[in-house]
Structure 1
Amino acid sequence: MNAPDRQEKFVVPEGVKKVAFQPDTKVANAGSFVIQREDHTVGNLVRMQLHREKNVVFAGYRIPHPLEYQMVVKVQTNGKKTPIQAVQSALQDLGDEVGDIRNKFQQQLEQMNGGGGGMPPPPY
């Protein structure tokens, strides 16, 4: 009855930015990214990828309230890169990794189909 519409969790409302950056005024080379309509899956992936970046000193995320549908990712760098550059680099690397996994998966599907059985190829 009082539950919000399910689409509110996933659809960014008009006039709201998907990602907003706020520089930290107290800590050098740090800032927060407010990301709309994402959850722990994306937060943990981004955080772990940021930990792999050699110029990142700190990376963490939190979900301020479960009914606000936003996530805050905090990033601090050593000054050789800005927090924005570090996140861009981490997201590029993450995209490359996902692409590699997809290619390997497709190769396995093709091998299964070439063997005379298995699943049909994906539609993409």
Structure 2
Amino acid sequence: MSVGADGFRLHNVNENKAENKLEWVTGPSQDDHNRTFVINDEDHTLGNALKHIIMQNPAVEFCGYTVPHPMERKIHVRVQTRDTPALQVLHQALKDFKKLNEEVREKIQVEIQRYKEAHPDPDPETT
């Protein structure tokens, strides 16, 4: 969907509401070890983090991502591997990213609780 001047998402008649979250490009440059994935409804936020996680995998020769057009909410993630299938690398990276996000969430919740304990809310009846 495109974004209006006020920042809200507007329906675009050219968009397919039934599109899958994950697809991949087909063609002569695509095989099990060299694959371009299309992740719909995402942008640089996921693309950059995912590229970083994928590049840490020793089986990966290359990983990069692009946003094909600023008005399209999709990213293309290219993964090239030696022996491991690219889809398996992407799947593992997404699992690792989810785990990392859960760890960060837990740390934030611990710090919020610590702050609340150190700075209790004043009693509204006494102020």
Q: How does 1:26-65 map to 2 (within 5 A)?
A: 26=29, 29-65=33-69
Q: How many residue pairs end up in the alignment?
A: 113
User: Which structure has the greater CA radius of gyration?
Assistant: 2
- Residue number among 88, 93, 107 corresponding to 1:90 in the alignment: 93
5+ residue gaps in structure 2? 122-127
Whether 1:111 aligns to 2:114 is: yes
Which position in structure 2 is the counterpart of 1:73?
A: 77
Q: Structure 1 vs Structure 2: percent identity of aligned residues?
A: 27
Once the two structures are superposed, residues 38-85 of structure 1 have per-residue CA deviations (whole angstroms, 9 ceiling, x without a partner) of 111111011111111111111000111122322111001111x21111
Structure 2 length as normaliser, TM-score? 0.76
Once the two structures are superposed, residues 6-53 of structure 1 have per-residue CA deviations (whole angstroms, 9 ceiling, x without a partner) of 2449xx842211110235633651101111121111110111111111
CA separation of 1:8 and 1:47: change in aligned 2, threshold 3 A: farther
Decide which structure has greater helix share.
1
5+ residue gaps in structure 1? 119-124
Distance, in Å, in 2 between the alignment partners of 1:27 and 1:15 is: 24
Distance, in Å, in 2 between the alignment partners of 1:96 and 1:24 is: 33
Which position in structure 1 is the counterpart of 2:24?
A: 21
Does structure 2 retain, via aligned residues, the 8 Å contact 1:24–1:30?
A: no
Task: Give the 3-state SS of the residue equivalent to 2:25 in structure 1.
Answer: strand
